[in-house]
């Protein structure tokens, strides 16, 4: 009986982990552009915001499905496989999403974006 309970709890945890990047859901702008006064969360149109919602990240015409989240030990971060679609092409990437004061960071390969949370 105890083993069945452990398996049930493990299945629930696995299901929750696959549900997407809940802690990162929101709309974001580049921190540098906000800090320099070039953009403001209150004045931009929605299409200008990077949006993360229920396991999908969208930035302009590029969208990525976030899959296979892996918790990064001792960090407020998740590493994802990202299946991306843009202009009729599909590609795959690894994306690291990190909680930061007032926003998030996103890293992949040799680039990093620091983003401010707008909503």
Q: What is the pLDDT of residues 94-119, one digit of tens each?
A: 999 999 999 999 999 989 999 999 98
What's the distance, CA 17 to chain centroid? Answer: 13
Q: Judging by DSSP bridges, how do beta strands 56-59 and 89-100 pair with one another?
A: unpaired
pTM of the model: 0.75
Cα–Cα distance between 117 and 51 in angstroms, integer? Answer: 10
Q: What is the pLDDT of residues 13-50, one digit of tens each?
A: 333 344 444 889 999 999 999 999 998 888 888 788 99
Cα–Cα distance between 100 and 28 in angstroms, integer? Answer: 12
CB 96 within 8 A of CB 69: no
């Amino acid at each position: 009986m105890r083993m069945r309970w452990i398996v049930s709890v493990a299945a629930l945890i696995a299901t929750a982990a696959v549900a997407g990047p809940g802690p990162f859901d929101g709309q974001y702008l580049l921190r540098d552009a906000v800090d320099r006064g070039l953009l403001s969360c209150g004045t931009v149109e929605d299409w200008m915001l990077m949006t993360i919602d229920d396991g999908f990240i969208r930035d302009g015409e590029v969208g990525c499905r976030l899959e296979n989240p892996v918790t990064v030990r001792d960090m407020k971060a998740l590493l994802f496989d990202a299946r991306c679609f843009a202009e009729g092409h599909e590609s795959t990437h690894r994306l690291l999403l990190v909680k930061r004061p007032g926003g998030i960071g996103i890293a992949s390969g040799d680039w990093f974006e620091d983003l401010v949370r707008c909503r």
